[in-house]
Amino acid sequence: MHIVVVGSGLAGLLTALRLAAPGGASTTQDEWRGPGRVGSSTTQDVTLVTAGSLGAGASAWAQGGLAAAIGADDRPELHTADTVAAGAGLVDEDAALALCREAPAVVAELVALGVPFDRAASGELARGLEAAHSRPRVLHAGCDATGARIVDALARLVLASRVTVLEGARATSIRTRHGAVSALAVTDAHGRDRELPADAVVLATGGYGALYPHTTNPAGSIGSGVVLAHRAGAAVADLEFVQFHPTVLAGGGLVSEAVRGEGATLLDADGRRFMTRVDARAELAPRDVVARAIARTMREQGGAPVLLDARGVAARLGGATALARRFPTIDALVRAQGLDWSREPVPVTPAAHYAMGGVLADLDGRTTVPGLFAVGETAATGVHGANRLASNSLLEAAVMARRLSTLLARAGSTIQDELSPTGVALETAPSLDAAPALAQSIDAAALRDRAWNSLGLEREGADLSCLARDLADVRPADERAATLLPLARLVAHAALARVESRGAHWRSDAPASVEGQRVRRVWVPAAAVCPELSTSRAGHPLAAPSAPTPPAPAPPARTAPQLTPARGAA
């Protein structure tokens, strides 16, 4: 059996590594030492395809940690409750409980594989507190370089394993036969088109933060997995929910949630703390609350960034050197911009950070297409609901990799299992590619600007209607826009259909949450719509597929955002 894994972040690396291990489950790093090691897995062949170099991607950029209830004062049920509370009514509670219960086993396996998690003076794993967590349960490695440490450890093991690695190879389409996956088409590092026969394809391509010009994600986070899967007939879900990180340096560079967890505060341009007036949890409120409060404060002060004040943290830790030791990556970023954050507040703004939406999947990675699986940020499992709890992303990637690799290692009929969505509202997705033959073209830069203005922290119905109409009538002008345009069409329709505000999705024309819309929306290609896909489940009322939302009146011409023609386009 040949399995192709697309993507080399935490989810992709751990999936490939475990599939290539004896019996389909990795144990310790010692078993992987030495080049060319050949395992005795039931999986015959594993190929890992990555568009960049091995380990490149959003996982390696993760400063924050991995959440796990491993402390004596903590338990998975408390972790689950925090996850559900952050998710604003849309969390699949069964999936969240499974995620949190498996977290300690994930940590144990990563430690066995050589991930150097930080430890307290007692020798136990150090636990930090982050926003919306009721207990200190966030584990870090390299202080604020957790993702990089995990990816580095796993990448070295993958290179020493029997996994075939294709770097610089871009997946272009998923081939199906009789409705099931049969191959993955790629363009390799030399520009040659190839087809990799596959009994299963695992999408671990990350999210779509790079749909926006201001993002904490790498440039390659353009939702390629979502577009590939949907074109292959898979359902996608929750696309309207994009989390914006509250604190990104105005000059570029993420400032982790952990800094506020240590006590840093947010100040307006006049040096006044404002989060205490917004939420009882102040700077430790959920990310969507903090990000919108920052955006509003910035608007009130003419667009100027707000200030993150870590001077109290520095004083408590013992000065500038201690602050740098606690947050070495952030300290380097701040000082590279000529700032001394131990002595002065630093300017920060929100930026697109994490996509709760993606390819509809269960926690085992199954999608609605037999043989197609999705893991990590590429997948929409329901564990994050409308707003992800801090540091649950690396956890979800690892848990899904463990569960999927165990499933695939059993082989047999499970390879053709598919997910049947329950407790969701099925919607017909817009066409991803149709546009008039003589349509105006749009390049990636212009498209990303439109997304920031219309699909950002604050949205508005008339503007969303205008955006959806405009996107339907243009064609991509460059390779990156060829993926971003169909993605933007899907996200715009999802945001337009949810006429309420919930979690990371906030509409100025519908600022309240509506109980009748407390349901996950699943978007399926027109050919895949069939009533038998949905059945009700206790505790999860099924919403019937709704009629398309009537378009809101177009805004006046003077306020309607205009498409920018691509350079050189007619």
**Catalytically active residues, by annotation:** 287
- Name the β-bridge partners of 176: 181
Residues whose CB is less than 8 angstroms from the CB of residue 184 and which lie 6 or more positions away in sequence, other chains included: 4, 6, 49, 171, 173, 174, 175, 195, 196, 198, 201
**Cβ distance 490 to 236 under 8 Å?**
yes
**Cβ distance 374 to 237 under 8 Å?**
no
Distance, in Å, from the CA atom of 51 to the CA atom of 7, rounded to the nearest integer, reads 7
Q: Which helix (H) or strand (E) holds 288?
A: helix 287-300
- The three-state secondary structure class of 463 is helix
Residue at 331: amino acid letter: D
**Number of alpha carbons in the 13 Å side-chain half-sphere of residue 298:** 20
460, with CB counted inside 10 A (0-12, 13-18, 19+), is middle
**Number of alpha carbons in the 13 Å side-chain half-sphere of residue 180:** 13
- The three-state secondary structure class of 11 is helix
565, with CB counted inside 10 A (0-12, 13-18, 19+), is middle
- The three-state secondary structure class of 175 is strand
E-strand ranges in 17-169 read 45-50, 66-67, 138-139, 164-167
**Cβ distance 364 to 338 under 8 Å?**
no
How distant, in Å, are the alpha carbons of 278, 292, 422, 453 from that of 296?
11, 6, 37, 14
Query: CA 160: distance to chain centroid?
Result: 28
- The three-state secondary structure class of 314 is helix
DSSP state string for 522-550: EEE-GGG--GGG-B-BTTBPPPPPPPPPP
- Name the β-bridge partners of 374: 203
**Cβ distance 424 to 542 under 8 Å?**
yes
Over its C-alpha atoms, the chain yields an Rg (Å, rounded) of 23
E-strand ranges in 136-203 read 138-139, 164-167, 170-177, 180-187, 193-197, 200-203
